[in-house]
């Protein structure tokens, strides 16, 4: 509609300019300023923008809506990288929703810094019992002025509860304060690390029929189990799929691509077109076995994005091999150069798109 109006004005001005004593060139300049300037104005970009920030071996996601609402999901391992993204994308310093999926340091590292610099309206965190000293972080959460705090240990978030994010909707899919509570199907005993990860809060962001599923370090299998394994948190979410849908255009993948998540049952329920792993040159993530399950389902390798693009890690064993697609021997990927951008358009008929912020891989020859 804007282009049609500008075209009509252009014809009218061109026809009347000589009689008004205005040169045609000046009309062109004026129309360029009005038309091109309006078309390029970021304020008119009617999309929900999601950035998976390259924080190295950790996770930080920042999302913004066309009218200035914002979500921060996990905050990486240190204050600098995730905080910088929040400063850039949320200049108002008003964060609608901060979700800390679980309390591992690579997911909560910048939380205190972000709380100190921003007014956060709603906070969700697991309140899990951890050996680490989380007193300072939880004190900062409790002291956030006016915040609606959901400490899952004392105030569980109902599965399926929705939070408004301007024109977008956030659905709380699942999350616990104790990972052992995900053992609902007689699975074997969880290790301590798996317990800490299994409780991760999972949310689904939806805008105009487009969607992104954010999964933290949720767990759905033991490492190296057969493909049919479907257990723990992922099994619970799959069982609830009829009432709390998992289907999403983009899956921000579980546990950085570790083999103890992204079970086949979960992939089939989510039906992702794109998958994004926040990895980093550490721990051999994402795993070859995980990528194999996604590709076997039908996700093309070029639709699987990673924040350690190009980085290669020598495997400790064949089973623990990293996914080496488009990695380069001898390349140690650095954090900060492989942010992944997700675009959810306002037009329901338009496709969701995903791209790297930097077109060229720093490791690419």
Q: Which of 303, 227, 226, 224 is nearest to 268 (CA)?
A: 227
Please report the pLDDT score of residue 30 as a whole number. Answer: 38
E strand segments, 190-325: 202-207, 210-214, 250-252, 274-277, 304-306
Planar angle of CA 96, 42, 44, nearest 5 degrees? 85
The pLDDT of residue 43 is 38
| Options 3.40.50.300, 3.40.640.10, 3.10.20.600, 3.60.15.10; CATH of 45-356 | 3.60.15.10
**Residues 116, 144 contacting (CB under 8 angstroms):** no
Q: How far, in Å, CA of 109 to CA of 103, rounded? A: 9
- According to DSSP, residue 189 is labeled P
Q: What local confidence, expressed as pLDDT, does residue 24 receive?
A: 45
This prediction's pTM: 0.88
Q: What is the mean pLDDT of each run of 10 residues along the chain (365 residues)?
A: 40 42 42 39 71 97 97 94 98 98 97 98 96 92 97 98 98 97 81 95 98 98 89 96 98 96 97 96 92 97 97 87 93 93 98 96 84
Q: How many helices (H) and strands (E) does the chain have?
A: 10, 15
Q: How far apart are CA 198 and CA 176, in angstroms?
A: 8
Residues 7-61 have pLDDT tens digits of: 443 434 444 444 444 454 443 333 334 443 333 343 346 999 999 999 999 999 9
Task: Please state the domain extents for the chain.
Answer: 2-37, 45-356
CA–CA distance, 197 with 131 (Å, rounded to integer): 14
Per-residue confidence (pLDDT) for residue 8, from 0 to 100: 41
């Amino acid at each position: 509609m804007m282009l049609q109006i500008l075209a009509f004005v252009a014809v009218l001005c061109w026809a009347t300019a000589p009689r008004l004593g205005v040169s045609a060139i000046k009309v062109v300049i004026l129309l360029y300023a009005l038309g091109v300037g309006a078309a390029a104005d970021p304020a008119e970009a009617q999309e929900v923008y999601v950035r998976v920030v390259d924080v190295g071996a950790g996770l930080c996601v920042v999302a913004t809506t066309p009218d200035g609402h914002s979500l921060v999901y996990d905050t990486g391992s240190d204050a600098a990288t995730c905080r910088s993204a929040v400063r850039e994308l949320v200049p108002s310093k008003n964060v609608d929703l901060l979700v800390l999926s679980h309390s591992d340091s690579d997911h909560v590292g910048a939380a205190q810094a972000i709380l100190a610099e921003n007014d956060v309206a709603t906070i969700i965190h697991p309140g899990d019992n951890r050996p680490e000293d989380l007193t300072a972080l939880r004190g900062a959460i409790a002291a956030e002025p006016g915040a609606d705090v959901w400490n899952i240990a004392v105030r569980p978030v109902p599965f399926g509860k929705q939070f408004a994010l301007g024109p977008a909707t956030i659905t709380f899919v699942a999350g616990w304060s104790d990972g052992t509570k995900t053992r609902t199907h007689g699975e074997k005993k969880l290790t301590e690390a798996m317990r800490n990860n299994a409780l991760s809060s999972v949310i689904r962001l939806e805008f105009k029929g487009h969607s992104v599923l954010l999964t933290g370090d949720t767990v759905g299998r033991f490492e190296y189990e057969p493909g049919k394994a479907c257990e723990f948190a992922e099994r619970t979410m799959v069982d609830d799929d009829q009432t709390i849908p998992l289907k999403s255009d983009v899956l921000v993948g579980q546990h950085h691509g570790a083999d103890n998540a992204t079970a086949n049952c979960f992939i089939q329920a989510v039906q992702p077109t794109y998958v994004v792993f926040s990895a980093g040159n550490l721990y051999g993530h994402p795993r070859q076995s995980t990528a194999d399950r996604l590709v076997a389902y039908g996700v093309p390798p070029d639709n699987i994005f990673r924040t350690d693009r190009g980085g290669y890690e020598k495997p400790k064993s064949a089973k623990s091999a990293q996914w080496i697609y488009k990695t380069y021997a001898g390349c140690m990927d650095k954090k900060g150069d492989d942010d992944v951008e997700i675009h959810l358009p306002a037009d329901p008929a338009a496709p969701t798109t995903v791209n790297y912020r930097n077109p060229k891989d720093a490791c690419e020859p």
